[in-house]
Structure 1
């Protein structure tokens, strides 16, 4: 079995102080993906026995960033999109393994006033091309904080949030477009109608206790791999960030 975890830790240094390593070793993933690390690799001494570490740090310290910890060494690693193999915001890491590609992503937020919506949509087009190119070679596992509640079932107060960042027609359409072109949302594959399944909650008072949240963290896979899926689930009981970990198990 292959077990993968994805978690927006909202600052890995803070998350480590809140018990990250206890969870990391308890869950015992084959591949563990982080988003919003908010530090450069040299700013933290993270010894993870048995794991290779790959970090894509944002140039700006304390901002964005992704990382992948894997028991098996990949055949190749690419940072960012396109041919540059670098990016200023540290949002994408692609690892190639024998049977598949893993793409770990921290999608840009359109921001409260939607000031970054056009940037986000252009970025989504680049990412779509990247995923399609990989999928033409071998199956893809695509995960991370995708910053979109795809359907109304994916957030608590859908009506009052219509048009807000993460719930715009344009952002949702980008996800739909990907799902229409050979990818599946693994959580909804297993639990198409489950309500209250959220991965992010505001830090406002008692919001998480009352489960007023959004599902914006995902594992997507190439549709032709659906027969290999075992389960996709959410560890909403795990604290340490405003997001919680999500898990994918495959044969």
Structure 2
């Protein structure tokens, strides 16, 4: 029995691992925008993998606000909330409270159930560049990255890469730093996140969700960080709408490259 348990896990995992070595879309970061993008893409038949460095995907949504496990969404995001079956209750005009744990687990469940491959405990440490276009990511185990061990990585090729790494916009920063290129931002570089302004940040999260370099898209807080906009705190409607928008945009891009 011990042998069968181990063999079953190893066989299954490496079949899954081989499947994600060449994909349509590689998403870096398992926060709400990345998870929702993976859900919509997989639902539309796209071969998508999501890499999350931590043990559990979900980003900051798990923690609610200062570990109060409730969050706010606005009415514009209610169709997404309803589609995912997340309970909500009205709080003020146009604002609703949802349970952060239910919301996060629902995002993970729906993304996986739709066919997205979710790979936790894996870090993305670089991108693949071919013909002045991002064509994949370079991955390693998260503990290797954390401990700074000199262990060579594995390459995953992809038609499109999505930076959904949140406040740090890690993929965009790596691309800019290592290649001396200009991004599709007001300054041509990663500007960095500004201080909190909830109303402005909710708008710009969606506006800044776009392709910033051939083959590289940004969503969620990475979109605001790259373009120098504001943070928004524990309101998540903009994050969900950003994930939905980037999925639709990427879907068009992937279909054009088929």
TM-score normalized by the length of structure 1: 0.31
As a proportion of its length, which structure holds more helix?
2
Structure with greater Cα Rg:
2
